[in-house]
Amino acid sequence: MRVSAIAATVNHSDRFDHGGLFQGDGFIMGAGLLAECSMKFAIALFSAAHAPSSRRALLFAQAALAGGHEIVRLFFYQDGVHSASTNIVAPQDEQDIARQWREFVSQHQLDGVVCIAAALRRGVLDQGEATRYQRSAVNLEAPWALSGLGQLHDAAQNADRLICFGGT
């Protein structure tokens, strides 16, 4: 959506906070941030799929791509690695944010990186790590890739902005 089209939908019940426009419980766009010329974003997620910040990160990423921007890398760190697990089951009355992340990354062919140290600590394993540590459970599959924290540094160097969601 173009900025002018979004601006036309703003009414008195909408709120601006944390540098963004929210309508209802959905993130629409960052005030000024997404209104600039095309930008490259690196997005880091530090919270699990059930946390509100995970949904906000997903909505931000969707809005960034819809606005013609580029996402150079999604980096899932700390509890954010749970969002990449295939074993996450959302209750029937809740959105399945982990599934939405997986579909979003696949659909847009994004670089979805899961921190290997954080993943191992939380039991999130791809086939290679499950074999290496002699574990029977594999719960990390494509489109996700395990890699080190250096990938976050690389993403920050190649992006115009590093946007972080969640964490303490």
Q: Which residues are catalytic?
A: 115
Check if the beta carbon of residue 27 is closer than 8 Å to that of residue 58: no
Reference 68, options 45, 34, 100, 42; nearest CA is 34
Check if the beta carbon of residue 73 is closer than 8 Å to that of residue 111: yes
Q: How many CB atoms lie within 10 A of CB 102?
A: 21
CA distance 94 to 38: 33
